[in-house]
Structure 1
Amino acid sequence: MTTATTEVETTRKLLQAADTDIAAFFDYFSDDCVFHMGNNAPVIGKNAIQSWVAQYLTSVASMRHEIIEEWSEGNVAALRVEVTYTLQNCESFTLPAVTRTRVDNNKVTEYLIFMDPSPVASGTSQ
């Protein structure tokens, strides 16, 4: 089911910014946003999220999110995506993921990513 809502649109734009302009990506977060990826500990606050993401993306040259499915209810949006990572060593691989955002006043206040980030963290798809 595809629903064009403010929450879905904000989440789409968030993912597009992650792919094309990482500085703009952080503009979508509220100052007290909660960010939680996979089994990692939650990260709270825009500045802490920037630091965490910078460390996580150390081996990544680029990434691209392909949206497969969208859902929203109230101020929550969920997108099923396939994320293609290209590493600094030119290796590429695609990982399935679901992102779930909570949006208030066009700012993401909660960003949950359900994905196994270990290939990115290790810098290899092996």
Structure 2
Amino acid sequence: MPLHDFIDDLSPAIDTMETKNVLTFLTDDCVLQPGNQDSVRGTEAVAEVFDSLYASIHSIKHTIDDKFAVDDTAVYRGRVSYRRMDDSDLTVPFCDVFKVRDGKIAEYFIYIDWHELFSVKL
């Protein structure tokens, strides 16, 4: 199965805001590098990252603008829209890089500026 076919279903899984849906795509020892935060390893640590994100927003929606894959690596570029807890909306660009092993994501790098998402609005 081409990497695109597999990873194309990841963004909709993330958008459900159900961590268990995301974890089905990952190896047990997956390394996640979320933005400028420290990287984490393993499904328990990855689950904590997604649980924390989901607890801080009302909703999330990804739009993929471009993607390519070479060997075991895929790159997705797009926009992600958030509904924040104050009911304001924010859309920011992102780029995700995935390394796949045995049909699952073993390394997941999220390149995004979350500064505005988590900044306090006055």
**Structure 2 partner of 1:74:** 71
Matches within 5 A, 1:40-79: 40-79=37-76
Please provide the CA RMSD for this pair: 1.7
Q: Is the contact between residue 57 and residue 120 of structure 1 (CA under 8 Å) also seen in structure 2? A: no
Q: Is the contact between residue 17 and residue 59 of structure 2 (CA under 8 Å) also seen in structure 1? A: no
**Structure 1 partner of 2:93:** 96
Total equivalences in the alignment: 121
**Structure 2 partner of 1:115:** 112
- Quick one: higher RCO (CA 8 Å, sep 6+), 1 or 2? 1
Structure 1 window deviating more from structure 2 (60-69 vs 85-94): it is 85-94
Unaligned runs of 5+ in 2: none
- How far apart are residue 117 of structure 1 and its match? 1.5
TM-score after normalising by structure 1: 0.87
Change (3 A) 1:122 1:57: farther
The one-letter code matched in structure 1 to 2:80 is V
Question: Between the two proteins, what is the percent identity of the paired residues?
Answer: 25
- How far apart are residue 94 of structure 1 and its match? 0.3
TM-score after normalising by structure 2: 0.89
What's the secondary structure of 1:110's corresponding residue?
Answer: strand
Unaligned runs of 5+ in 1: none
